[in-house]
Amino acid sequence: MRMYKRLVSITAVVMTLVLIPSVGCTNLNAKPNNKSTTNKEECQVNKRKKTNKEECPVNKGKKTNNRIYLYKVGTKNSKKTKAIHTHQTKKLYLKNKSKVKSVKWNSSNKKIAKVSKHGIITGLKPGKTTITAKVKTIKYQIAIKVKKALKIKSVNGSQLKQGIYMSDYYGSNNNILVSPASINMALGMAANGCAGKGVYPSTCGTVPNEKIYINPKEELEKYLGKSTKNYNKYAKKIMDSNDKTTLEMANSVWYKKGVKLNNSFESNVKNYYNATTNEVTFDKSAVKKINSWVSDNTDGMIKKIIDNVSQDTYAYILNATLFDGKWTNKFDQSDIHTQKFKLFSGKKVKTKMMYGTENSYYENDYALAFEKTYEKNKKYSFIGILPKAEGKFKLENLNISQLLKNKKKGGVEIGLPKFEYSWNEKINDALMNKGINGIFNMFIPAMNPMFDTTDKSNKYVNEIIHSIAIKVDSEGTKAAAVTSIETKCTSDVVYNKKIVLNRPFAYLIKNNETGEILFVGKVINPSKK
């Protein structure tokens, strides 16, 4: 029997450092134009029969204080106002009415919030509306204020938030995938060759003898959430934990012939990042060598990272991450069907959907998610995240940090489409928007400590390129031999939830042992590569 075999993801990050004379002026603090917890509410589950109803049940005996009640019209409490956020969903209740067979629900402004026939309210955009419920001749109501969507205030030190931020910054209508682990590994190496606090003269000429205070190294450390020394130790732990079968990380530094690396920098990237350092003549042959290294360390899924080498280029810092995971419990071929995937536009495209079961899930007011582990040791997990509200979404609006803390036991039916795509982008702007400015400034010697040279011209980071590819398919033979010994959920499990990723969704891939967030992505259209 053929199985849904594996997920393969790779990423390459290249950091280009160049030499340029210190001339002109720039605004060191300028930022590019950026693109723009709820309490638990659970549901009572009928354990005797399956249900796919739109419910929001609560565990028996568990008290909640965040329920939204509707009160009889005309009573004092019926004039109350309750608040929810955009993209948030909540179960509505009628005060002093526990069992009601038939309720007619209505929202006075359906553009602000909608309410389903099961009494589930969804915030659509900021504004006010009144929700009414009619039970026979009796009316209940509550005023609802929909607030702005949740936003991430800071990404410093959190790979999850970094990945969410990057995904939202570059991906809205297209498939997107980023690897915060890979990006941070490259930034960590760069921090070892980065200047600390400095006072630099301004060449703008607006203020005589003006001086600018900037600390490029501190900016990197703040984003990484660790000092360079501590991040080096952390990187060492990550590199040593690579199992060389499911996850492989490789690092390298390529520098111009005739240029000498600083001994401390070279020693640190070798000892903590297992990086190779390569002195090469920066011509067409260097392009071939660097691209060959990228291809070799991504199993050929990323063929190249650079097209040419400028004469001003001093060095490249590279990280390549290869993930090749086989499911702990694989999908049977008989459970793979051609289904329709609903796009944001309402158009439906055909896709291969794989169905299976799991025995737990995640849920908050914003999203549902399932976890599917890799390998027999379950060291890695794929988290498929389906927003409860349909339509365009940002990951920062789904309160994913809280979602992953809200794991629930119970059988769940899952559906995951096959998908394959690649993404390539210069990510300077996104990093600058989050406070990393100094290393990109050509008018200060931000990266001079990386080199041991008498040349005092300013070295800075010209660009950081993030190239990444992912493939989810049912091909392969290596896993086929072990499928017979792998188990499935037993037949007596009650499936009280159904999470089918048949419309735009998000996903994470994480290391359950180290906590590394390897990948964060969105699938807007599984048929697009």
Task: Classify residue 112: in a domain, yes or no.
Answer: yes
Task: Classify residue 5: in a domain, yes or no.
Answer: no
Which residues, 6+ apart, have CB-to-CB distance to 522 below 8 Å?
Answer: 167, 171, 175, 176, 177, 395, 504, 505, 506, 507
Domain endpoint, select from 127, 147, 167:
147
Average pLDDT over the chain reads 81
Query: Stretch 243-247: mean pLDDT, rounded?
Result: 76
Query: Stretch 334-349: mean pLDDT, rounded?
Result: 93
Q: CA 505 → CA 168, 179, 365, 380, 509, distances in Å?
A: 13, 17, 16, 20, 14
Q: Between 417 and 203, whose confidence is greater?
A: 417
- What's the CATH number where 400 sits? 2.30.39.10
Question: Does residue 17 surpass a pLDDT of 60?
Answer: no
Specify the range with the lowest mean pLDDT, choosing from 212-226, 291-305, 425-439: 291-305
- Contact criterion met (CB below 8 Å) for 443 and 25: yes
DSSP 396: G
Task: Classify residue 300: in a domain, yes or no.
Answer: no
pLDDT at 207: 56
Task: Classify residue 29: in a domain, yes or no.
Answer: no
pLDDT at 424: 85
Task: Classify residue 502: in a domain, yes or no.
Answer: yes
Task: Classify residue 290: in a domain, yes or no.
Answer: no
Task: Classify residue 388: in a domain, yes or no.
Answer: yes
Residue 87, domain extent: 68-147
Task: Classify residue 199: in a domain, yes or no.
Answer: no
Q: CA 462 → CA 258, 313, 480, distances in Å?
A: 20, 9, 46
Question: How many structural domains does the chain have?
Answer: 2
Domain endpoint, select from 114, 130, 147:
147
- How sure is the predictor about 473, in pLDDT bands with cuts at 50, 70 and 90? low
Beta bridge partners, 114, equal 122
Cα 13 from Cα 20, distance rounded (Å) = 23
In SS3 terms, 477-510 reads as CCCHHHHHHCCCCCCCCCEEEEEECCCCEEEEEE
- How sure is the predictor about 99, in pLDDT bands with cuts at 50, 70 and 90? confident
pLDDT at 475: 31
- pTM to 2 decimals? 0.83
What stretches of 67-137 adopt beta strand conformation (E)? 68-72, 81-85, 89-94, 104-107, 113-115, 120-123, 127-135
How large a percentage of the chain has pLDDT more than 90? 48
- What's the CATH number where 127 sits? 2.60.40.1080
Q: CA 465 → CA 194, 424, 461, 520, distances in Å?
A: 19, 7, 11, 17
Domain endpoint, select from 84, 117, 147:
147
Specify the range with the lowest mean pLDDT, choosing from 28-37, 393-402, 467-476, 483-492: 483-492
